[in-house]
Amino acid sequence: MDQKQINSQMPEAYRLRAFDVLDSTNKEAIRAAEKGEAANLWITAESQSSGKGRRGREWISSEGNLFCSLLLENKKDALTASQLSFVAALAVYDTAAEILGSAEDIQCKWPNDILVKNQKISGILLESSGFGNNAPEYIIIGIGLNLSSYPKEALYPAVDFKSLGKDTTPKEAIGILAKYMAEYIRLWHKEGFHPIRKKWLKQVKGQGSEIIVKLPSEEIIGCFVDLDLTGALMLQTDTGLRLITAGDVFFPKLATD
């Protein structure tokens, strides 16, 4: 990537540092935070040697896809800061809509996946660095976007933009993504979680329907009722209402198709 050219695409107050190869962009962002690097820093890599997704899963890092992380200074408590996963999901949603030229087949899947035609096209991983007053000093938002390829053997069916007829380079994609991230972060800081939650629910898949939530120690089936004010999934089960703060969501109909 041409770093000077990409920096010219960055929103005001944001900057970018591009690498050919990293172990992972999130790890590089954490290292930058530990060195006292100023926040609002995007980090990209053309490939990663040890990328990871949620819950420690390997993230396949094929060249031609977008691998990036955003280092943000945090002044919120840990629970409030976790809302940034929904902020990031909306930014990826709008990025996908701009690349595809339409939002018709795009949906959000709890907690922070974006689906195109019921297939996962991105991954989002939030991590933190440093702790002061019981809250992380920095939040790192790691995002992988399937531009030209996707993992064939994944936990959830995946797709890429090239397969959907859209050729987009990582350089083009990071410019679009950074634009929307800046807009939604600004909205979140100004108005809180309410407008983020409201917009996310308009795009979500499965609300009002039966879903399967897989946790490390159990599998729960219930009706996806709503998203609570902290971002937890509200699941109505045979034994009552459950609040789920972490898990993997699947849809029974898709599982049997």
pLDDT at 56: 46
To the nearest 10°, report the CA torsion of 80, 81, 87, 92. -150
Q: What distances in angstroms separate CA 86 from CA 113, 126, 204, one per listed residue? A: 9, 10, 11
Q: How confident is the model at residue 132 (pLDDT cuts 50, 70, 90)?
A: low
Q: What distances in angstroms separate CA 60 from CA 63, 119, 127, 152, 198, one per listed residue? A: 10, 16, 19, 10, 32
Flag whether pLDDT at 236 surpasses 50.
yes
Residue-wise pLDDT for 244-257, tens only, equals 998 999 998 654 44
Flag whether pLDDT at 243 surpasses 50.
yes
**Sheet containing 41-48: which strands, arranged edge to edge?**
15-22, 41-48, 66-73, 135-145, 122-132
Strand partners, 138: 73, 129
Lowest mean pLDDT among 3-12, 164-173, 221-230: 3-12
Distance CA 251, CA 143 (A): 23
Structure tokens belonging to residue 89: 């999901």
Residues with Cβ within 8 Å of residue 224, at least 6 apart in sequence: 110, 206, 207, 208, 209, 210, 211, 233, 234, 235, 249
Q: How confident is the model at residue 2 (pLDDT cuts 50, 70, 90)?
A: low
Q: Which long-range contacts (CB under 8 A, 24 or more apart) does 225-229 make?
A: 226/201, 227/110, 227/197, 227/200, 227/201, 229/193, 229/197
Percent of residues, the chain, with pLDDT higher than 70:
89
Residue-wise pLDDT for 141-167, tens only, equals 999 999 999 988 777 899 999 999 999
Peptide bond into 111 cis (omega under 30): yes
Which domains does the chain possess?
Answer: 3-203 (3.30.930.10), 210-256 (2.30.30.100)
Distance CA 208, CA 205 (A): 9
- Is residue 145 within 8 Å of residue 98, measured between CB atoms? no
To the nearest 10°, report the CA torsion of 138, 79, 57, 113. -100
Residue-wise pLDDT for 27-60, tens only, equals 999 999 999 999 999 999 998 885 554 444 454 5
Task: List, in sequence order, the alpha helices (H) in 82-169.
Answer: 84-100
